[in-house]
Structure 1
Amino acid sequence: MGEALLARARRAARRLKREVVALWFAARDPRTPWLARLVAAAVAAYALSPIDLIPDVIPGLGLLDDFLLVPLGILLALRLIPPDVMAEARAKAEAQADRPVSRAGLIVIVTIWLSAAGGFAWWILSTA
């Protein structure tokens, strides 16, 4: 029973990774509407970023983005992208041997963390 559940989880994780890479391709397709491009690019950049907005070491919240935010973002993007564009993007994602890495996602997340740290430091210093 446990092995079957683990195998299903692995298949689901592979599908999720393929969808993220497909969104990465779809965001660059000129036939994709601008709002869909924006959503797909944001989801792909975040999911392909080497670091998480919420680090996985934080108990409970750490995996929230992986199990909730990314799948919800994928669902939203899939509703906005034309099916023929997504089919082509999925084919490209299947053919892609290695997963791309989003430097833009990394920069955005580092900027958010640095801004939060700066804001927190400013708040501490202003209340002292």
Structure 2
Amino acid sequence: MGFRAQLVTLGQRFKQEVLFYRALLAHPQTPWLAKALLWLALAYLVLPFDLIPDFIPLIGQLDELVIIPLLLYLALKLIPVTIRQACRDAVAAEQDQK
């Protein structure tokens, strides 16, 4: 598999994950705490505020690599498996229609 094909696959996977998290946020049975953690992860990614400033070498860049996955992990642990699977199935069905 060439580099370009790997990039295309990675891009498609990223798009599926974004759609999955959007579906989780829109699902009426998703617990409010899980929704809050997902919004917090998005805000931490997008907003210019950091717990550890980026100008501190190495540690400044690593905080995003630790905090955002931790927030996503905690949110997913709070969401029942049936809701997660329903959202994954909905995203897969939407992708198949295109």
| TM more than 0.5 | yes
Distance across 2 between alignment mates of 1:31 and 1:89: 11
Q: Which of the pair has more CA radius of gyration?
A: 1
List runs of 5+ in structure 2 lacking aligned partners.
1-5
Change (3 A) 1:52 1:65: farther
List runs of 5+ in structure 1 lacking aligned partners.
1-6, 97-128
How many equivalent pairs are there? 85
Residue 59, structure 1, aligned to residue 81, structure 2: no
Residue 46, structure 1, aligned to residue 41, structure 2: no
Overall identity of the aligned pairs, in %? 34
> What is the correspondence of 1:8-47 to structure 2 with a 5 Å cutoff?
18-19=16-17, 21-47=19-45
Aligned to 1:124: none
Write out per-residue CA displacement over residues 85-121 of structure 1, whole angstroms, 9 at most, x where no aligned residue: 222333455657xxxxxxxxxxxxxxxxxxxxxxxxx
Aligned to 1:4: none
Q: Is the 8 A contact 1:39 1:77 kept in 2?
A: yes
Distance across 2 between alignment mates of 1:52 and 1:92: 33
> TM-score, normalised on structure 2?
0.57
